[in-house]
């Protein structure tokens, strides 16, 4: 078993005692950091950062040099899988992700290959191995993937969407076609995450950014069922340590009991649910991650500290089983100073909850 100097994050996910509440930030490597913008300019574009293991490693480590974060997250994107399936991912400056080809009919779905993670996605595994080497056991590395439903939204809509009209049309008019796509994506995600774990990811997180646009019935049928399949297909132990799994459905606060019932180790919350309410409902079943509104990072240092304290109080209960985070990604317009205030506040203010 390789030694970790700081394993608070893994311990909290497994509900073991910790000396302070661990904290990391979704999108902690990104455009709010000038050093990220400089390296992206040098690489040329976002995918070139992801496809070069040295660049991906450097960007992963940038926020850790500034802040005492308790975890690193692989620098990559959820859309690597559809790209490896041949859809042709590209980014136009100032715009979100786009695909050259989209999924429109049954033959598109039937013909989609399931990518070999060490071939088409070998660049991600190289990044994981490089980052693990360079982290030198300081903090654990989080691997990740999109949920099948969230990946399918991009593959069918061709990019970001506000209404999700095309995928909803497929869900309700051609459900068999969509279920076949989601099942292929679930199989791809299982192979991809297990390969990340083998390459050195010490915990994994599934991002279901768009599950929250569905009715409760459709959420269960089209999103949760496939995350459930993934949780059951993952290798949960590596190198003598448990590999905790976190599920995040944005806007999924009303379904946390169902999410926990998949057998995941932690449920990540966005900011639209009170963490005290979530904790009351979940009890000791799983750990919770979250859940400060990322926009709070625009407030004064005093206001940020107050919000951190409120969330710590809300979780209460000896503090273990809580991983502090934002309820969604940090935005490019936040100052690096305020991100620092947030991270330091979590460590400072959480100590009394753990003594």
280 is catalytic: no
Minimal distance, residue 326 CB to ligand 1CP, in Å: 10
SS3 210: coil
Minimal distance, residue 32 CB to ligand 1CP, in Å: 10
Residue 167 in tokens: 């995928």
209 marked as binding residue? yes
Minimal distance, residue 209 CB to ligand 1CP, in Å: 4
Catalytic, out of 9, 67, 154, 353:
154
DSSP bridge pairs for 248? 207, 268
Q: How many CB atoms are located within 10 Å of the residue 155 CB?
A: 27
66 marked as binding residue? no
236 is catalytic: no
For ligand 1CP, the closer CB: 248 or 255: 248
Distance in angstroms (rounded) separating the CA atoms of residues 198 and 94 = 35
154 marked as binding residue? yes
For ligand 1CP, the closer CB: 292 or 349: 292
For ligand 1CP, the closer CB: 197 or 349: 197
Binding site for ligand 1CP (CB under 6 A): 26-31, 40, 46, 73, 75, 77-79, 96-97, 144, 160, 207, 209, 329
Distance in angstroms (rounded) separating the CA atoms of residues 33 and 262 = 36
Residue 304: phi and psi, rounded to 5, are -65, -45
116 is catalytic: no
DSSP bridge pairs for 324? 23
154 is catalytic: yes
- Of residues 284, 242, 249, 281, the one with CA closest to residue 9: 242
Minimal distance, residue 242 CB to ligand 1CP, in Å: 21
Say which DSSP state 241 is in.
E
27 marked as binding residue? yes
- Rounded to the nearest 10°, the torsion over CA 306, 334, 33, 189 is 80
328 marked as binding residue? yes
DSSP letters spanning 261-319: TTT-SEEE--TTS-HHHHHHHHTTSSEEE--B-GGGGGS-HHHHHHHHHHHHHHH-TTS
For ligand 1CP, the closer CB: 74 or 288: 74
Distance in angstroms (rounded) separating the CA atoms of residues 341 and 330 = 14
Minimal distance, residue 352 CB to ligand 1CP, in Å: 29
For ligand 1CP, the closer CB: 92 or 104: 92
333 is catalytic: no
Say which DSSP state 294 is in.
G
Residue 173 in contact with residue 104, Cβ under 8 Å?
no
29 marked as binding residue? yes
- Known binding-site residues equal 27-31, 77, 154, 209, 328
- Known binding-site residues for substrate equal 27-31, 77, 154, 209, 328
Q: Among all residues, which ones are annotated catalytic?
A: 27, 31, 40, 77, 154
């Amino acid at each position: 078993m390789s030694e970790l100097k700081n394993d608070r994050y893994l311990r909290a996910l497994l509900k073991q005692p910790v000396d302070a509440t661990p904290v990391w930030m979704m999108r902690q490597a990104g455009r709010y950091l000038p050093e990220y913008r400089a390296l992206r300019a040098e690489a040329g574009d976002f995918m070139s950062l992801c496809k070069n293991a040295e660049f991906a490693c450097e960007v992963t480590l940038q926020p850790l040099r500034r802040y005492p974060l308790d975890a690193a997250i692989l620098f990559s994107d959820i859309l690597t899988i559809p790209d490896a399936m041949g859809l042709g991912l590209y980014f136009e400056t100032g715009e979100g992700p786009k695909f050259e080809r989209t999924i429109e009919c049954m033959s598109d779905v039937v013909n989609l290959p399931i990518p070999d993670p060490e071939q088409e996605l070998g660049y991600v595994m190289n990044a994981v191995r490089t980052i693990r080497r360079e982290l030198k056991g300081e903090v654990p590395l989080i691997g990740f993937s999109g949920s099948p439903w969230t990946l399918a939204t991009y593959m069918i809509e061709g990019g970001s969407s506000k209404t999700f009209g095309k995928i909803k049309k497929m869900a309700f008019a051609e459900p068999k076609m969509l279920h076949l796509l989601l099942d292929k994506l679930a199989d791809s995600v299982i192979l991809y995450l297990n390969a990340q774990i083998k390459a050195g990811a010490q915990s994994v997180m599934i991002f279901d950014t768009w599950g929250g646009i569905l009715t409760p019935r459709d959420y269960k049928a089209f999103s949760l069922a496939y995350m459930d399949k993934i949780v059951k297909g993952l290798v949960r132990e590596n190198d003598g340590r448990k590999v905790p799994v976190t599920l995040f459905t944005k806007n999924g606060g009303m379904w946390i009991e169902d999410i926990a019932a998949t057998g995941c180790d932690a449920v990540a919350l966005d900011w639209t649910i009170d963490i005290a309410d979530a904790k009351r409902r979940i009890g000791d079943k799983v750990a919770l991650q979250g859940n400060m509104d990322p926009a709070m990072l625009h407030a004064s240092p005093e206001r940020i500290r107050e919000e951190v304290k409120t969330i710590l109080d809300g979780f209460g209960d000896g503090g273990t089983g809580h991983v502090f985070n934002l309820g969604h990604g940090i935005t490019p317009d936040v100052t690096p100073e305020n991100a620092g205030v947030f991270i330091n506040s979590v460590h400072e203010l959480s100590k009394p909850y753990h003594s």
